[in-house]
Amino acid sequence: MARYIVGLNQIGHGLLADVTKFSIDIGQGSDPERNLAIYREVVAQIVSLFQLDRVAFLYDIQQLPNWSTIVYIDDRNIDISRQKAAFRDRVLMAAVAIYEELWKHIGSSAPKRNVTYILEQSSATMLMISLYQEPSGEQIELQ
C-alpha cells in the first residue's frame, strides 16, 4: 500500500462552492457539514475511477455523479433535472482537473495493473489517497 498527498490548487474550493450552490438550488439548504459530506462523496467517486489510462478514465467519469448518495431530498415530485445537468458538468470538469493533479503525483510511480485507489481524507485543499495493489494471480516459476 502506498499513500499520496495531492494538493488541489483551487480545484477543491471551486467544487465545494459548486456543491453548495447545487444544494441550495435543489432545496437541500446550505448546511456546511452536509455540503462537505457531499463534496467528499463526489471526490471519492472521482478518485475511485482513477486509472493510468486517461481515455478509459474519461469514459468512466461519464457515470458521475451517483445521485443517490448526494441528493437527500425526495425529488420525485419536483423537477431538478436542469440543476442536476449543470452540477454534473461541474463535476466532470473537476474530475478532469483532479485527474491531472493525481497524474502528476501518482502517474509514473503507480503499478500498471490491479490497483484500487481509495480516498482516505479530503479537504478543499488536499487529498490523501491510498493505493492497494491486488494480487495478479500470475504464477511465478521458481528456478
pLDDT over 60 at 138, yes or no: no
Cα 23 to Cα 72, 74, 94, 125: the distances in Å are 9, 13, 17, 21
pLDDT score recorded for residue 140: 42
Q: Provide the sign of the torsion angle of the four alpha carbons 18, 47, 96, 86, taken in this order.
A: negative
Tens digits of per-residue pLDDT, 22-37?
999 999 988 999 999 9
How far apart CA 45 and CA 17 sit, in angstroms, is: 18
Output the nine-digit C-alpha cell for 89: 458538468
Please give the mean pLDDT across all residues of the chain.
89
101, HSE (Cβ side, Cα atoms, 13 Å): 23
Tens digits of per-residue pLDDT, 106-129?
877 777 778 889 999 999 999 999
Tens digits of per-residue pLDDT, 51-106?
989 999 999 999 999 999 999 887 677 889 999 999 999 999 999 999 999 999 88
Residue 127, SS3 per DSSP: strand
Spatial strand order in the sheet of 115-122:
2-7, 126-133, 115-122
pLDDT score recorded for residue 64: 96
pTM for this predicted structure: 0.88
How far apart CA 61 and CA 43 sit, in angstroms, is: 12
Q: What is the mean pLDDT of residues 19-24?
A: 96
Between residues 52 and 45, which one has the greater pLDDT? 45
